[in-house]
Structure 1
Amino acid sequence: MSEQKPATLRIGVDVGGTKIEAALIDELGRVLRTERIPARHGEEAVIDDIVAVAGQVCDGDFNRVASVGIGTPGQVDYVSGHVDNIVNLGVTSLDMGPLVEQRTGVPAHVENDVNAAALGAAVVLGGGTSLPGVVAFLNFGTGLAAGLVQDGVLMHGASGAAGEVGHIPVEPHRFKCPCGQYGCLETVCSGASVARLWPSANPAMPDLIRRAKKREAKAVDVLDMVVRAIGDTIQIVAQSMDPSVIILGGGMAKTGDPLVEVITAELRRRESQCRFLASLDLPSRLRLAPLNQPVGAIGAAVAA
């Protein structure tokens, strides 16, 4: 009787507010198959959907799978796999990791969705293995947060709050933040805040940049506010962690090169006034997150 070969495939699942996506990854980090399904509300539905989409990518044969990794919004305890407050999916408290493990029979690991995307982007940009050194992933989505990776390992910090730069209260307009503070960077340069500051288009950022280039006064003022806050965010991450690569991700990063151009112009403006900043050459470290790869699911798989 021949020995059963050890399972080498990994599954990563990216839980979003509107969709849940899974990717099947081989031992070389290659994506073999992806599937996505609409997200549903409620604790039971979320677990059902994670298990269902994971089953789709492995044709229901979890014996071939070594681990299931999950990237999710909410407050994640990456050690226990417990998740609180996935607001967009109506989840208050959920033992996500243990329940998925129970249903699939495969070890499951849960990460914050930004952390998962950070690791996934570092792996994709590294050609299958994570970029070396410290990599920062700035997620300009509904909120603003950073994922930090060092030599392929996620950095969580003592309480799991590493990278929560969006709630540093240094923005001078002092807008009220849902977290209770005033002046959080997230109140100006997250995707949701840009949509609030520039409600005339959806998505807001491409239109804002386009109108500012036409020298429309209101657009110039709003873009200046947003880009200064992005510059502050980049400086905080760069000067505290000194990453070799700073990846721009989240919905706002889909703006593409025009976003990189306005950020680069802001960083160059700052460099012109400060030799120290000029020596860091931050614009050379900027990269856009890959748009053609499921980086959240890939990162979740690699982290598991």
Structure 2
Amino acid sequence: MAAATPHLRAGTNSVQADPISLGIDIGGTKIEGVAMDGNEHLLACHRIPTREGSQAVHDDTVMLIRHLLDQLGPNQGPVTVGLGIPGRVDANRGMVDDAVNLGIHHMALGPAVAKTTGLPVRVENDVNIAALGAASQTGDTLMTPGATPHSQAARDQARRPATEPGRDGPRALPDHDDHTVAFINLGTGLAAGIISGDRIEHGASGAIGEIGHIPVDAHQFPCKCGQRGCLETVASGSAAQALWPGIAHPLPDLIAQAGQGNQQAQDVLDIIGHGIALAVQIVALTIDPAVIILGGGMSKTGQPLLDLVTEHLNRSAACSHFIASLSLPDRLRLAPADLPIAAIGAALAGRMAADSRPSDFIGKETAS
């Protein structure tokens, strides 16, 4: 992608370069980075394989930052960096704990990258930055129930006002600035990110949105957290693999097999569909967001996933006027599969680091 065109100040010959926001999504298999300008246009993208260990994650992150800056060329404006990573994250201090899939027990990721690059850095949990990236998208990119992705009808439907007479489709994102958006990450685990007024909600201990470990499922399957019946055991990618083993992409196969009359597949699909719908209800009843976006690996199933969750939400609504009154299917969206929303969210989160200096981090902690 081409670099941003610098803006000329009126009445002068000087050039004022656009600010640059770099976003790095550090995942278990790949590290993906983007560069954006002040108008949130993607200027560059790049990804590399993930290597485990604190030093490797630091080195690869720095290498990716430098690669993105090299792609942009000279005349860059001020640069900020946002990093998203699994595990428990102290966003204010840039600390990461227990990112087990990356081989990280404790690491001062923000201070280390800030010291090496000389750039302001902010670190956030990976689900939170995916939530921020997804919430930044419009009705043009978020798929709605019953709509074909990227079709003109879907775009027209998403643009209509929520109060339009005769409207039979879901709402677009509200126009006001203080709306709340929830992002449910249906990945290896299950968690939610909450965006309120375009900012990430963290809670008192950073555990906000950890809905996967609410023990409410009657099957009482054991969870890695030590409990039984956690929502994650029936509403996640790992749950689908455990309940329908031996298939690389179990959810699409389950949907296909159930459609062909396979009763065992239908029984498993009911467990998963009910679990995800329950996750939606929990988020809706505790946060009451205007929009609930489904993302993560399972979301790549596409429209059939929305149809499955909508079916189970409608089952609950059929026996509860209260649930029916919430119009939960109307709030559902599917995160776009063709955009690096986590890296975009990291870039947006990184702008919060603009007022800090690398020296604010340096010396406070060291990687371990």
Deviations 1:126-169 (A, max 9, x none): 679xx551101000101000000012111111111110100000
Where in structure 2 are the equivalents of 1:171-190 lying within 5 Å? 171-190=217-236
1:66 shift after superposition: 2.5
2:69 maps to 1:23:
no
Alignment of 1:185-264 (within 5 A): 185-264=231-310
Per-residue CA deviations over 1:40-95 (Å, capped at 9, x if unaligned) read 11111100111111111111879644310000011111110010122122111110
Provide the C-alpha distance between the structure 2 equivalents of 1:4 and 1:93, rounded to a whole number of angstroms. Answer: 43
**Secondary structure class of the residue paired with 2:33:** strand
Partner of 1:124: 137
Aligned to 1:291: 337
Q: Tell me the distance in 2 between the aligned counterparts of 1:75 and 1:157.
A: 13
Q: 1:1-304 alignment to 2 at 5 Å?
A: 5=16, 8-59=19-70, 64-125=77-138, 131-132=173-174, 133-304=179-350
CA contact (8 A) 1:7 1:66 kept: no
Specify every segment of 5 or more residues in structure 1 that has no aligned partner in the other structure, as ranges.
none
The CA distance in 2 between the partners of 1:169 and 1:23, in whole Å, is 37
Instruction: Give the distance between the partners of 1:211 and 1:247, measured in 2 at CA.
Output: 26
Structure 2, gaps ≥5 residues long: 1-12, 142-172, 351-368
- Hey, what's the Cα distance between the residues in 2 that align with 1:136 and 1:220? 28
Q: What's the CA shift for 1:10?
A: 0.7
- The higher radius of gyration belongs to 2
- Whole-Å separation in 1 of the counterparts to 2:140 and 2:269: 34
Question: What secondary structure does 1:88 align onto?
Answer: helix
Partner secondary structure for residue 189 of structure 1: coil
Deviation, structure 1 residue 195: 0.7
Cα distance, 1:200 vs. partner?
3.6
Query: Alignment identity in percent?
Result: 50
| Shift, 1:254, TM fit | 0.4
Q: Which runs of 4+ in 1 moved over 4 A?
A: 2-7, 60-63
- 2:191/2:209 contact within 8 Å kept: yes
> Aligned equivalents of 2:243 and 2:59: distance in 1?
38
Judge conservation of contact 2:185–2:192 (CA < 8 Å) in 1: yes
CA distance in 1, matches of 2:204, 2:322: 30
